[in-house]
Amino acid sequence: MKSVNSNLPIEPHHLPERLKSQFSKLKARLWRIELALGVAWGIFAVLVSFLTAFALDRWQDTPSLIRGSLLLGALSAVCLSGGWWCWRWVIAQRNLRDYSRLVQRRYRILGDRLLGIVELTEDKSEETSYSEELYLAAVQQVDLDARGCDFTAAVSTRLLSRLGAGSAVLALLTFILLAILPGAFSNTLSRWINPGGNTPRYTLVTIKPNTSEHLAIRGESFFLEADVNYLSFWKPRTVTVQLDSGYQVMGQVQDNRIRLEIPGQFKETSMQMTVGDGMAESKIRPMQRPTLVSLNASIKMPAYLNLEDASIDVESGGLDILKGSEVKIAGAINRPLQEIVLNWGSTNRVPVSISNVTFTTDWLSTTNAFEADIHWKDQFGFTNAQPWKLNIRQRDDAAPTFQFPELYREMAILETEALELKTEVRDDFGVKEFGIDWETMNGVKPSRDVLDVDFKDSSLHAAQKELKVSFYFSPNLYDIEPGDVVELRGYVTDYFPDREPGKTAVYRIHIVSAVEHAERIRQQLEALLTQLEDVSRLEQSIATATDETLEKMDTLSEEDLAARLQDQATDQKLNASQLSEMARKGMETLKEAMRNPTFTDEVMSEWSKTLSEMQQLADQKMQDAAKALSKASQSPPSQSPPSQSPPSQSSPSKSTQKQAMQEAQETEQEILESLEDLQAMVNEDLDQLQALTLAQRLRGLGRTEMDLETTLMEGAEDTIGLFPDELAPRWRALHGKLGDTQKETAEESQELQDEIGRFFERTQKEAYGEVSEDMKARQTVEGILTTQELILKNITMEAADQAAIWSAQFEDWAGQLEPQDDSEGSGGGEGGGESNQQDLTKQLMALLRMRESELNLRMQTRLLERQDTGPETRIEKGRELSINQSKLQENLLEVREEIPIPFLDPIFEEIHGHMGNAADALARGQTDDRAIQPETESITTLTDAINILNEQAQQNSSSSSSSSQAMSFMMQMMMAKQGMGKEGKGNTGGGSMAGGDTARDSLNQGGEDDGDAGESRTVSRGGGQSSDLPTEFRKSFEAYYKKLEQLEQPTQRNTP
């Protein structure tokens, strides 16, 4: 590259010297201006780049990429400026033509002449088209014109001036920044010169947040705090916080400190604080408040309960405790604890031990403590939103309760029965002791020892809150006579000091003889006849209404016809349900009668047959009639107008409706006939039952006279030959009591005589007429009263003789009145098959009753085993039970001989053997397993025999014979009571039935007492029934009569 010398003259060929000088000055000035311009551009670019970096650093931490770009831009500008100058003055130098053009732009007066002479001057060709003179003339003219022009003025300095001024301003600003902000200046310079270095940004304001990570409650606002430090005279006060979500919060710096409320956040986010050029970043981590994970209360019960400490969950906020208890609270929070405060009751703060996330208190008194609140603070300083409240509900130790769940307040049992007294005792904090106290209205009162052994129990541990225990009671084992009333009540105690035992209301058990019980059963069954008559009257009304509806069918509108038929169908269903309910109640009464040995198996079988026919009538024919009426009530479609369809279009539906009504009419007539037959059967059965009860009542009077004779003969040695006033007080009292008994016998004799006479007048049975006349002829009442006078006069031997005579006479009259068993000829009307079925029903009834008696005997055996009696008394009572067991053996043989069934012979042999073993053990006074085990085996084997007969009945159930249906119905009803097929080991006989233990040994050692402990034994149900309709029947009949009135009204309106 050649160097440029601005002082070298231009050597045109013929240019004037003056022009040469002008061009030389232009070139020199242009060189200086463009050199200055290049330098100015470089300086300007550097200053702009630096100041831009300085400004950016004040706004933010300028990234190294931007800083590098600024430095690169400045260097590029310097290089471009230098390259441009080199291009102009070294590489591509200008010639005279370029300069001429430059002057021409400045001096328009010269026009193109200056450029023309320059071109002619530089033309070196030998051939020219112009003359020399013209050329010289032109040169001289241009030279002359150029004398007034300064070629150096053609170089513009405007850009250089402006660029120089800008650079000067930037340089001044730079020096000012250097002077007032040397730290920021040097920091920016360092970061600008070395953009890739790690020089930290220098700010005029520094922000120091309290923490780099702000923990906040999720969804709740919090305060952001930071310190501000100003490093210059510039002290901006505006604070801006920018969240990642785009939300912006602005505030003011006060006392060099920032405190801004930040809205609640739901997820982790970042925020940037800006004050002036100072920035600080931090994170926000939302979290839940510390929550309660678990809270338990350990309860120390009062000392008198002797219970272990209990632990309960109290997270629900409620604590139920017994007054006088102490409580220890223990809980856990979901994060490590920093502090916890527990305010308990009326006291303020109680000590609390903290271990990581758990806390525990000491034992706290509950006196006057009805509320507690808990405050906690976790390791982050967060607390619960509001104090956690614990409501403390204190209650008194309630009194225990005692219930007889299956015992009626008034009930009756036979003197030979054993009654299971099921009890349920409860206490809120544990039962201690419970039992039953009883005595009779006639003065029989057991000793305290007997009550404690037979009728007292206690829990085995203090924590038992509910117990179910059965006690057993049998009148004959406690020498309670028929006619007496046992008053009993239960008592129970808990562990509360000095509390009186809780007692039940008084329950009364009427002890009745078999004769009295039989009379009550007869009265109850007699009420069925009245109810059956009511059902018959209602059925007659329904049949009459059906007849009237059928007659007026063509005159009634379809709506009225359908309504009347639907009402009649409803009445028919109601009447069927009434008859079905009668059969059910009758069977319950029959089950009650099973307990009484007075009723023969023949009587029981006949009643079973009658009740079965009642049930069948209610379930079949009455339901068929109701269905027919309901079918007829479905109104046929309305006839279409004659123009649209023929009049006969609906006649098939009308015919179907009439046919259904006729079917209902026929069925109702059959029902009426069946009801008449049932009434006749019930009347016949009642007559037979009354005859049986009359005979048994006569026998009862005979036994009374026999007992009277025995009592008189036993005391004859001490009373014979003495005047009444000479008798010892106890004998005078005894004779007075015997006289009263004889007076009662005379009164009952008169009552029986009248009843037998009325029965004869109604039935015209010769035996009853003969007995009635014989009683009158023998002057029975007067004779018994005469015996009473002999007793009061202490004519003992004659009175005893008279009593024996009357005893024999009453027995003779009873034999005349007692119905004869005509089972042998009962099958003549329907053939041998029907007789066999009747015999099977009778035998089944006998086995059911025998099983019931065996259950009762086993219960009495267990009760005797529990009694704390002497050996002699135990042997005596055991022999009485042995006699009863032997009678059951004899009954078994009679049943087997009367109706032999070969396939049952092995089972009967087994039952007979078990009963014999039990009788032998009882005769020796053995009431333990040696007697109970064979009794249980007898019950089990009897159950097998009954089940076999039941299967036989089910096989014959398809037969239409009345005896087969009666047998099936009887088994369905009896099995519900007897619990067939459920014999086995159990816990029903004694001990707790609620899952706990008692101090009482279980009486159920060999099986389960499946007998009915209390069903159908109320006095009202066992002692006769009023002839008034039951409540549910009365309501039904009232509804029926109202419907009849509604049906009669449209009939009367339609009648001419």
Which tens digits make up the pLDDT trace of 254-292? 888 888 888 888 888 888 888 887 788 888 889 888 999
Question: Do the Cβ atoms of 862 and 418 come closer than 8 Å?
Answer: no
pLDDT of residue 402: 94
Chain centre to alpha carbon of residue 928? 46
- Choosing among 1.10.3720.10, 3.40.50.2300, 2.60.40.10, 3.60.70.12, the CATH entry for 203-287 is 2.60.40.10
What is the mean predicted confidence (pLDDT) over 181-190? 79
Helices (H) and strands (E) in the chain, counts: 24, 28
> CA-CA distance, 200 to 654, in Å (whole number)?
111
SS3 of the chain: helix, strand, coil, percent, to 5 = 55, 15, 30
- Between the ranges 79-83, 163-167, 399-403, 1050-1054, where is the mean pLDDT highest? 399-403
Sign of CA dihedral 935, 938, 942, 944: positive
- Between the ranges 153-162, 339-348, 562-571, 639-648, where is the mean pLDDT highest? 562-571
Q: State whether residue 215 is helix, strand or coil.
A: strand
pLDDT of residue 643: 38
pLDDT digits (tens, 9 = 90+) for 945-984: 877 766 665 555 444 455 555 555 555 555 544 444 443 3
pLDDT of residue 1026: 37
Question: Do the Cβ atoms of 688 and 603 come closer than 8 Å?
Answer: yes
What is the mean predicted confidence (pLDDT) over 519-524? 81
Return all residues near 469 (Cβ < 8 A) that are at least 6 apart.
422, 423, 425, 434, 457, 990, 991, 992, 993, 998, 1000
User: Does residue 489 register a pLDDT over 60?
Assistant: yes
- Which range (297-301, 403-407, 598-602) has the least confidence? 598-602
pTM: predicted TM-score of the whole model, two decimal places: 0.56
Long-range contacts of 6-13 (CB under 8 A, 24+ apart): 6/31, 10/96, 12/96, 12/118, 12/121, 12/122, 13/121, 13/122, 13/124
Residue with tokens 């406690």: 478
In this predicted model, which residue has the larger pLDDT, 303 or 823? 303
HSE toward the beta carbon, residue 244, CA cutoff 13 A: 11
User: Mean pLDDT over all residues of the chain?
Assistant: 77
pLDDT digits (tens, 9 = 90+) for 215-243: 888 888 888 888 888 877 788 888 888 88
Q: Domains of the chain: which residue ranges? A: 17-192, 203-287, 292-395, 401-512, 515-635+664-697+1030-1054, 831-983
Give the phi and the psi of residue 24 in degrees, each rounded to 5.
-65, -40
> CA-CA distance, 84 to 80, in Å (whole number)?
6
Select from 520, 519, 509 the least CA-distant residue to 483: 509
User: Does residue 401 register a pLDDT over 90?
Assistant: yes
Q: What is the DSSP string of 992-1022?
A: -SSS--BSSPPS-SSS---S-SSTT-BHHHH
Sign of CA dihedral 647, 653, 655, 661: negative
Return all residues near 396 (Cβ < 8 A) that are at least 6 apart.
322, 323
* Fold annotation for 401-512: Immunoglobulin-like (2.60.40)
User: Does residue 494 register a pLDDT over 60?
Assistant: yes
The two domains 292-395 and 401-512 share their CATH topology (first three levels equal): yes
> CA-CA distance, 489 to 492, in Å (whole number)?
10
Give the phi and the psi of residue 571 in degrees, each rounded to 5.
-65, -35
pLDDT digits (tens, 9 = 90+) for 885-941: 898 888 888 887 876 777 778 888 888 888 999 999 888 888 888 988 998 988 888
Q: Which residues of 662-677 are buried (b: 16+ CB within 10 A; e: fewer)?
A: ebbbebbeebeebbee
User: Does residue 837 register a pLDDT over 60?
Assistant: no
Give the phi and the psi of residue 369 in degrees, each rounded to 5.
-105, 110
pLDDT of residue 479: 83
User: Does residue 167 register a pLDDT over 70?
Assistant: yes
User: Does residue 994 register a pLDDT over 50?
Assistant: no
Q: State whether residue 221 is helix, strand or coil.
A: coil
What is the mean predicted confidence (pLDDT) over 648-670? 73
Q: State whether residue 128 is helix, strand or coil.
A: coil
pLDDT of residue 296: 93
pLDDT of residue 871: 78
Q: State whether residue 472 is helix, strand or coil.
A: strand
**For residue 143, what is the DSSP state?**
H
Q: Which residues is 419 bridged to in the sheet?
A: 473
- 292-395 maps to which CATH number? 2.60.40.1220
Q: Which two tokens stand for residue 802?
A: 């008279």
Chain centre to alpha carbon of residue 623? 40
Q: What percent of the chain has pLDDT over 90?
A: 7
- Which range (119-133, 262-276, 796-810, 851-865) has the least confidence? 119-133
pLDDT digits (tens, 9 = 90+) for 684-709: 777 777 777 788 788 888 888 888 88
Task: Give the number of other CB atoms < 10 A from CB of residue 886.
Answer: 17
Amino acid (1-letter code) at residue 551? E
Q: Which residues of 361-392 are buried (b: 16+ CB within 10 A; e: fewer)?
A: beebebeebeebebebbbeeebbbeeebebeb
Q: What percent of the chain has pLDDT over 70?
A: 77
pLDDT of residue 641: 41
pLDDT of residue 309: 87
How buried is 784 (Cβ within 10 angstroms: 0-12 exposed, 13-18 middle, 19+ buried)?
buried
- Which range (530-539, 794-803, 1015-1024) has the least confidence? 1015-1024
Residue 827: band (very low, low, confident or very high) from pLDDT cuts 50, 70, 90: very low
pLDDT of residue 1019: 54
pLDDT of residue 492: 94
Sign of CA dihedral 882, 888, 892, 893: positive
Q: Are strands 431-440 and 213-217 parallel, antiparallel or unpaired?
A: unpaired
pLDDT of residue 733: 82
User: Does residue 297 register a pLDDT over 60?
Assistant: yes
> CA-CA distance, 636 to 653, in Å (whole number)?
5
Q: State whether residue 813 is helix, strand or coil.
A: helix
What is the mean predicted confidence (pLDDT) over 755-779? 83
User: Does residue 505 register a pLDDT over 90?
Assistant: yes
User: Does residue 777 register a pLDDT over 90?
Assistant: no
Q: CA triplet 723, 724, 728: central angle to 5 degrees?
A: 105
> CA-CA distance, 520 to 141, in Å (whole number)?
173
pLDDT of residue 351: 87
- Which range (203-217, 234-248, 364-378, 411-425) has the least confidence? 203-217
Amino acid (1-letter code) at residue 331? G
Select from 1037, 1055, 1047, 1046 the least CA-distant residue to 546: 1047
> CA-CA distance, 463 to 1047, in Å (whole number)?
67
